Amino acid sequence: MATTIALVTLYQRLYDAYGPQHWWPAETPFEVMVGAVLTQNTAWTNVEKAISNLQKADKMKLELMKKLTERRLARLIRPAGYFNVKARRLKNLCCWLSKQGGIEELSSWPSEELRTALLEVNGIGPETADDILLYAFERPVFVIDTYTRRLMKRLGLIEEEEKKYEVLRALFERALDPEPYLFNEYHALIVRHSKEKCSRESMTGRRVIPGSNMLIDCRHCKVELPFE
DNA sequence: ACCCAGGGTCATA
DNA sequence: TATGACCATGGG
């Protein structure tokens, strides 16, 4: 499959260019989960402020956060935006985690069941669930985000806005060995590359050159892939 | 003043 | 199934 070669090559290019990213930027699995909710459609710099507030208030712990009122929790996470919605989502997550007997208890669950259960928590969608599975539980689940969609589209690997999250996820998971480290770095590298070099604006001069290689050329960087 | 950022839910047709 | 409205702060 040509797509397989393209995705493997893309990883090599990104890894060579940027090196390991050491994700997720958090100290505990619980902090990963909190960050995954807070970063929904939100710049990470804003999430950092919210996380800092939670840590200073000593609330970056399941049982302590669970006890907070939504209003008080919302106050602490204000810099992350959507604070009322996210306070409710964090509480939903805390209640569910607590009901399952804590995070340790979940480590023995099969990935598929864990994913299904996470998706049943109101406020946890596909990407947030997969962030948690990969970065908190180290399961070989590939995370798809807007950066990934955009990059795949620019590389010509998908049509327009490939709607289905699961289709795109399957594309990566079929192409790659199910190694958590690989999935971890790959997603982090796509985010790093997209934020730093291939932002929306910097792609205005894009060219896709037919030939032996597909070539993305954004003023700042080049990513080459095997053709077709 | 505008655009956007590591989404997700809900109401409607 | 598929759009659209809504949530909201902070940096460019």
Strand C closer than 7 A to residue A83 Cβ: yes
pLDDT of residue A224: 63
Q: Would you place residue A155 in the very low, low, confident or very high pLDDT band (cuts 50, 70, 90)?
A: confident
The answer to whether A156 CB is within 7 Å of strand B is no
Which residue type sits at A165?
Y
Nucleotide lying nearest to A87, CA to C1' measure: C7
C-alpha distances (whole Å) from A103 to each of A54, A99, A171, A223 are 19, 10, 29, 39
End residue of a domain, out of A135, A167, A189:
A135
Distance A166 CA to C4 C1' (A): 23
A103 with A85, same domain: the answer is yes
Domain hosting A109: range is 29-135
Q: Give Cα A223 to chain centroid, integer Å.
A: 21
Within 7 Å: CB of A161 and strand C?
Answer: no
Shared domain check, A87 and A169: no
* Mean local confidence (pLDDT), A36-50: 98
Mean pLDDT of chain A: 89
Same domain, A130 and A35: yes
Kindly state whether residues A55 and A112 are assigned to the same domain: yes
Please state whether strand B lies within 7 Å of residue A33 at its CB atom: no
The separation, in Å, between residue A228 CA and nucleotide C12 C1' comes to 37
CA distance A208 to A224: 10
Q: Which amino acid is at A147?
A: Y
* pLDDT for position A212: 39
| A94 and A56 fall within a common domain | yes
Which domain-ending residue is among A135, A158, A175?
A: A135
DSSP codes, A112-126: HHHHHHHHHSTT--H
Residue with tokens 């810099």: A79
Domain shared by A118 and A42, yes or no: yes
Q: Distance (Å) from CA A160 to C1' C1?
A: 18
**How many structural domains comprise chain A?**
2
| pLDDT number for residue A23 | 97
Question: Which of A78, A104, A135 lies at the terminal end of a domain, its last residue?
Answer: A135
Distance A73 CA to C5 C1' (A): 25
In this prediction, residues A179-205 reach a mean pLDDT of 81
Inter-helix orientation angle A126-135/A111-120, to 10° = 140
Quote the pLDDT of residue A195. Answer: 87
Average pLDDT on A40-69 reads 98
CATH assignment of the domain containing A105: 1.10.340.30
Q: What is the pLDDT of residues A79-137, one digit of tens each?
A: 999 999 999 999 999 999 999 999 999 999 999 999 999 999 999 999 999 999 999 99
Cα–Cα dist A184/A24, whole Å: 8
